[in-house]
Amino acid sequence: MNRERFIKERRQDWQRFESLALKFQKTRQRNWSGAEVAELSRLYRSICYDLSLVQSREWGARLEQYLNDLVAQGHNCLYRTAPKSLSGIWTFFSIGFPSLLRQRYKAFWLAFALFTVPFIVSTFVAMLRPDLADMVAGEDELKAAVEMYSKDLYEQVDASYVKQRSGMFGFYIGNNTGIAFKAYAAGALAGIGTCFVLLSNGISIGMVQGGILAAGEPATTNFTSFVITHGAFELTAIVIAGAAGFVLAQGIVMPGNRTRIDALRFQGLESLKLALGAGLMLFIAAMIEGYFSPLAISPSFKYIIGTICWIAVILYFTMAGRERTTS
């Protein structure tokens, strides 16, 4: 059997499976009919076989991606339910969110490269050429940042501290969420907008960081001990929001064997889930940045806590939601 004949013979089952999966996503589980569940289960098994056949015969990445998406839809319908309670929300963030990000690893690594590479390069450029950092970040803004980190932010925790940090918490929520939302929503511009948001923020943040590090002590220690903890959540969330933007763009630019509307509906749902996960991470980052990062405690302690947070984030996205095997 060749590829064209295979597609012709199997297309009707794929389309029927897709319509059933879409119907199940829109209706409550208690309203599913037994006959339709049985049909979906039968089609799911046959599509899993189709996917393995396409992979073994190397019949094209687009066809493989299309079938892989169908399998993912079927798995979500048969083995998971949409969050309807606190336990469902917990299941999504503890299992569904990291699992989905691993499935969309290509979008994640693309966003990671577009943000991290210019961020690192800009940091080193600004350390070697502070004058360039002044041009990109703004001389007055960078000077104010250096002055701020050249002195202790707070000496004690009192009523004034709590009031001011609560206000800053709200600012961090708005600022960080704004960057992430732009990276996600710009995916509607065929992904070009997402590329621009990631690149521009990577450069600007890197330039500010490099300019502060070039100022030397005590700014260097105050700055690095301030950002290390919340940065684990904030920077990762920005990259994930960018990945969500690329997933959204895929529905527009590369619909595969779906219609563009169906592709956008499916990719849009998955991109929204990634964006919601990034939103929770930004909330955690704002809490840490607002109340923990400025505390007048030993920088060494902050480095320890920050390292633990980075390890926790990495383990969460690499290990959470994986099926356990028993011997």
Q: Which sequence spans correspond to the domains of the chain? A: 3-82, 99-319
Question: What confidence tier does 262 reach under pLDDT thresholds 50, 70, 90?
Answer: confident
pLDDT for position 80? 55
The mean per-residue pLDDT over the stretch 26-54 comes to 79
Nearest to 213 by CA among 279, 145, 286: 145
What's the pTM? Answer: 0.70
The mean per-residue pLDDT over the stretch 97-119 comes to 95
pLDDT for position 275? 92
Question: What confidence tier does 327 reach under pLDDT thresholds 50, 70, 90?
Answer: very low
Q: What Cα–Cα distance (Å) separates residue 211 from each residue in 83, 139, 238? A: 45, 10, 22
Question: Higher confidence at residue 159 or residue 236?
Answer: 236
In angstroms, rounded to a whole number, what is the distance separating the alpha carbons of residues 132 and 161?
A: 35
Q: pLDDT digits over 65-81, tens only? A: 888 888 888 877 776 54
Out of 12-16, 138-142, 309-313, give the one with best mean pLDDT: 309-313
CATH code of 3-82, in short, is 1.20.58
Question: What confidence tier does 198 reach under pLDDT thresholds 50, 70, 90?
Answer: very high
Q: How many CB atoms lie within 10 A of CB 320?
A: 16
In angstroms, rounded to a whole number, what is the distance separating the alpha carbons of residues 147 and 318?
A: 39
Residue 49 confidence (pLDDT) above 80: yes
| Torsion angle (degrees, nearest 10) of CA 51, 56, 62, 66 | 0
Are the C-beta atoms of 233 and 309 separated by less than 8 Å?
yes
Question: What confidence tier does 18 reach under pLDDT thresholds 50, 70, 90?
Answer: confident
pLDDT for position 153? 65
Residue 42 confidence (pLDDT) above 90: no
Nearest to 97 by CA among 317, 284, 266, 286: 317
Residue 246 confidence (pLDDT) above 70: yes
Question: Higher confidence at residue 159 or residue 111?
Answer: 111
In angstroms, rounded to a whole number, what is the distance separating the alpha carbons of residues 323 and 130?
A: 49
Q: pLDDT digits over 166-197, tens only? A: 666 666 777 777 888 888 888 888 889 999 99
